[in-house]
Amino acid sequence: MPYPNLLSPITLAHLTLPNRVLMGSMHVGLEEEGGNFPKLSAYFAERARGGVGLIVTGGVAPNRAGQVKPFAATLNSASEARRHKHVTDAVHAEGGRICMQILHAGRYAYHPWNVAPTRLKATISPFSPWGLTAGGVRSTINDFIQCARLARDAGYDGVEVMGSEGYLINQFIARATNHRTDEWGGSFANRMRFPVEIVRGIRQALGPDFVIIYRLSMLDLVQDGSTWAEVLELATAIEQAGASLLNSGIGWHEARVPTIATLVPRAAFTWVTQRLRESGAVSIPVVTSNRINTPEVAEQVLASGAADMVSLARPFLADPEFVKKAAENRANDINTCIACNQACLDHVFQNKRSSCLVNPRAGYETEIVIRPTTKPIRVAVVGAGPAGLSAATVAAERGHKVTLFEAAPHIGGQFDLARRIPGKEEFSETLRYFRGRLHATGVNVQLNTRVTQADLAGNFDAVVVATGVGPRNLTFPGHDHPKVKSYMDVLLGAPVGKRVAIIGTGGIGHDVAEFLSEPADKKPRNDEDSLRHFLQEWGVDYDGWGVSASPAGGLCPAVVPSMEREIVLLQRSSAKGGSRLGKTTGWIHRATLKKRGIKIVSDVRYDRVDDAGLHVHIDGQAQVLDVDTIVVCAGQVSRTELVAPLQSAGMVVHVIGGAEEAAELDAKRAIARGAQVAIGL
Ligand code: FAD
Ligand code: NAP
Ligand code: SF4
């Protein structure tokens, strides 16, 4: 067996799971509308078919006050339970198992009727909560129990009680958010009474044949969060109240420590569940989570004794067959989640349906269907960036005869530059995956081949132009001075001086700033040192955690890295620098630059470059920036030179990715568009 720990069975309450993999709760945006339940069912059924041990749904509120936003998914009536039956039947028909997460958002709810233990507004919400009365607390507990009852009626194998990420239950537990003086506040015994009564009530109401997972916040990462002693006390009490499984939560939503973004080292928080297990505070199985995205890492975590199960969430958007492929010893075929958040979490915050950058079918299982073609044709795809890779592999999968031409000696296009950015190493996995798909689907790959219209005309029935983008060149005097370099040159190793000005504050400007400011003493990723560096840089108490003086919330002063370069980012506009970065990751990039002393200067007019440096006007004042290197990250232009000649030659031409539109381009759009065009061929 390839992964003996990962693929070994485990029994929870009445249920034996075939493996140790839990699909963690994710809200995908299909939950709210009744009409979407068939789509939601197809989404879950595909994951059940892929062999995951146990699925946990996105959060469902036990009452209206607990809804994450107005009209969010709620389960408090028999008619709602009947709709959920679509989902549970679909999963069970595939031999899967599924629990429903009960989530009360408390003061994180995005509506004015939100409630909390105490009237304290969250920094990330515009709405002040109503303080729950003692009667309100009791009725909320009853709503949780009733919700669990309805979940069982709907056919769920159990429920997960959401006790982490800073939602209502967490708000009761932490001193930071619970200032009550009645039986629900004050001492820790009082503050934890709320979750303990919920779990006890559900167990009493539903008996032993029902799985109760409790998601316990093991590391709050906020001031006045739980201490380690409190975490252990709560874990023991939750087990005694009747939980079958303890899942782990790391960091409240308002925490200012990255916990799942791509720069977080893989398995960066498994030491927390390890310490829980070693404490002997519980005997029920414990699930560890966060940035576990390959079967190798999952196996290693389980083999080390850090947990009894692993929770993977986004990896199941990227590849529903994660477990099946692992079991068939085909880990290399797994489409790995690169933790970019661009199509999943960022969409949630934009009120859009979640999908996946590397798998545009995620969430669209009934809408994006790849069927074999009935009329195979000869297809040329020009450019092996994300758009071309996606188009070539999907077209070949459908049965077309595909040749992929790439001017460079390797595949990847701009993505090959992205993977060189510190903290974006995961992007290499996507290229590894596409390499495997090119081989498996029989695409004829021609590297080192810059094609022209003459190479293509007459030899193909259709051409997909995926020639992407190139850097926008500047035109002001001195733009060709030796101090001026494009981001491409810099990322490919051109020498850069100690004092640097970066022109452009988009995604690439930020990435280049991080690339140039990466502390030289940073060790390779995924070893103990790299983890320690990450935790120290973000102020997580790794070494002191667990000792009696451990700080509340697990925070400690961050270590400020020593900088070898002086870097400034410049932009012409007066908008807030970095405001167009991803919703859930932009703050991390801004915080990183701040820690490293890198400033963003707005309202800049570029005059010229000469030996003295970069001459600019800032706020109307002339200045010379005495820098050694000026890196141009001023956006992209489409490479379209093939399009008109091919069209004039009467060929069928499809233009995709950056070649189609450079503005607002990212790999999410490029990959999705490639698949869309290939499906239409
Ligand atoms: P490209 O990636 O530009 O690929 C085009 C390919 O066509 C190239 O390989 C080129 O050599 C080839 N080609 C061109 N002309 C010819 C020809 N005549 N014959 C043969 N081959 C030809 N996006 C994200 O979504 N998230 C990120 O975090 C992210 N980070 C980035 C960081 C950096 C540093 C950079 C540079 C980019 C980043 N991007 C990111 C952007 C992302 O990489 C691009 O949006 C994406 O690569 C565009 O895909 P594409 O296939 O359209 O074009
Ligand atoms: P971008 O986001 O469009 O930023 C271009 C920058 O260049 C802006 O700061 C712009 O600011 C400046 N600029 C534009 N024209 C200029 C000119 N003529 N002279 C001087 N400055 C000029 O583009 P990008 O940084 O190249 O990124 C390309 C795409 O890659 C993005 O759309 C993004 O989606 C993707 N990407 C994403 C990530 C990610 O983390 N998700 C990371 C990297 C890249 P002013 O006009 O104000 O000067
Ligand atoms: Fe993972 Fe990015 Fe896909 Fe989200 S969008 S599942 S983070 S690869």
Q: Is the pLDDT of residue 207 over 80?
A: yes
Query: Which one of 349, 357, 429 would you pick to mutate in the ligand 3 pocket, going by the greatest count of ligand atoms within 8 A of its CB?
Result: 357
For residue 173, give the CATH number of its domain.
3.20.20.70
364 catalytic per annotation:
no
Among 596, 618, 634, the domain boundary falls at 634
Average pLDDT over every residue of 100-126: 96
Residue 545 lies in a domain: no
Q: Are residues 434 and 568 in the same domain?
A: no
Domain containing 382: what range? 378-471+637-680
Q: Are residues 38 and 166 in the same domain?
A: yes
* pLDDT score for 526: 54
120 lines ligand 1 (CB under 6 A): no
Q: What confidence tens digit (pLDDT) does each residue in 559-585 have? A: 887 888 999 999 999 988 888 888 889
- 488 Cβ neighbours under 8 A, 6+ residues apart: 417, 471
504 lines ligand 2 (CB under 6 A): yes
* pLDDT score for 549: 54
What are the Cα distances from residue 536, in Å, to 373, 554, 558?
54, 12, 6
572 lines ligand 2 (CB under 6 A): yes
The string of DSSP letters for 478-511 reads TTTSTTEEEHHHHHTT----SEEEEE--SHHHHH
Q: How far apart are CA 309 and CA 12, in angstroms?
A: 11
Average pLDDT over every residue of 13-30: 95
Q: Is the pLDDT of residue 523 over 90?
A: no
Residue 3 lies in a domain: no
Nearest ligand 1 atom to alpha carbon 387:
51
635 lines ligand 2 (CB under 6 A): yes
Q: What confidence tens digit (pLDDT) does each residue in 595-632 have? A: 999 999 999 999 999 999 999 999 889 999 999 999 99
Q: Is the pLDDT of residue 199 over 80?
A: yes
Average pLDDT over every residue of 360-381: 97
Closest ligand to C-alpha of residue 337 is 3
Q: Are residues 641 and 622 in the same domain?
A: no
What confidence category does residue 256 fall into, taking pLDDT thresholds of 50, 70 and 90? very high
What are the Cα distances from residue 25, in Å, to 58, 267, 613?
5, 18, 52
Closest C-alpha residue for ligand 1 atom 16: 467
Among 349, 368, 389, the domain boundary falls at 349
Nearest ligand 3 atom to alpha carbon 293:
1
For residue 466, give the CATH number of its domain.
3.40.50.720
**Separate counts of helices (H) and strands (E) for the chain:** 23, 27
Average pLDDT over every residue of 634-660: 96
Nearest ligand 2 atom to alpha carbon 664:
32
Answer whether 60's CB lies under 8 Å from 75's CB: yes
User: How does 451-469 read in b/e, with b if 16+ C-beta sit within 10 Å?
Assistant: bebebbeeebebbbbbbbb
Q: What confidence tens digit (pLDDT) does each residue in 424-483 have? A: 999 999 999 999 999 999 999 999 999 999 999 889 999 999 999 999 989 999 999 999
Name the catalytic one among 3, 108, 156, 167.
Answer: 167
Closest C-alpha residue for ligand 1 atom 3: 468
Q: What confidence tens digit (pLDDT) does each residue in 296-309 have? A: 999 999 999 999 99
Q: Are residues 195 and 232 in the same domain?
A: yes
Closest ligand to C-alpha of residue 667 is 1
Answer whether 486's CB lies under 8 Å from 632's CB: yes
Residue 357 lies in a domain: no
Q: How far apart are CA 302 and CA 319, in angstroms?
A: 21
Give SS3 for 674: helix
Residue 371 lies in a domain: no
Q: Are residues 330 and 408 in the same domain?
A: no
Q: Ligand 1 centre from 185 Cα, in Å?
A: 55
Q: What confidence tens digit (pLDDT) does each residue in 317-346 have? A: 999 999 999 999 999 999 999 999 999 999
Closest C-alpha residue for ligand 2 atom 4: 506
Q: Are residues 612 and 579 in the same domain?
A: yes
Q: How far apart are CA 369 and CA 39, in angstroms?
A: 13
Q: Are residues 305 and 277 in the same domain?
A: yes
Nearest ligand 2 atom to alpha carbon 570:
48
Q: Into how many domains does the chain fold?
A: 3
51 lines ligand 1 (CB under 6 A): no
The string of DSSP letters for 28-82 reads -S-SS-GGGHHHHHHHHHHHHHTT-SEEEEEEEBSSGGG-SSTT--B--SHHHHH
Residue 95 lies in a domain: yes
Residues framing ligand 3 (Cβ under 6 A): 314, 317-318, 337-344, 356-358
Q: Are residues 273 and 294 in the same domain?
A: yes
Q: Ligand 3 centre from 27 Cα, in Å?
A: 13
Q: Are residues 137 and 270 in the same domain?
A: yes
Q: Are residues 180 and 68 in the same domain?
A: yes
Task: Spell out the alpha helix ranges (H) of 157-268.
Answer: 168-173, 188-191, 193-206, 228-241
pTM (2 decimals)?
Answer: 0.96
Q: Are residues 62 and 149 in the same domain?
A: yes
Following CA atoms 272, 274, 279, 283 in sequence, which dihedral angle do they give, to the nearest 10 degrees?
A: 110
Give SS3 for 290: coil
Q: Are residues 163 and 231 in the same domain?
A: yes
Q: What integer best gives the mean pLDDT of the chain?
A: 94
Residue 309, phi then psi, degrees to nearest 5:
-140, 160
- 223 Cβ neighbours under 8 A, 6+ residues apart: 176, 552, 553, 555
* pLDDT score for 522: 57
Handedness of CA 75, 79, 81, 87 (dihedral sign): negative
Q: Is the pLDDT of residue 45 over 80?
A: yes
513 lines ligand 1 (CB under 6 A): no
Residue 361 lies in a domain: no
Rg (CA), the chain: 26
Residue 585 lies in a domain: yes
Q: How far apart are CA 344 and CA 438, in angstroms?
A: 26
Q: How far apart are CA 414 and CA 412, in angstroms?
A: 6
Residue 124, phi then psi, degrees to nearest 5:
-100, 10
Residue 167 lies in a domain: yes
Answer whether 181's CB lies under 8 Å from 213's CB: no
Q: Is the pLDDT of residue 85 over 60?
A: yes
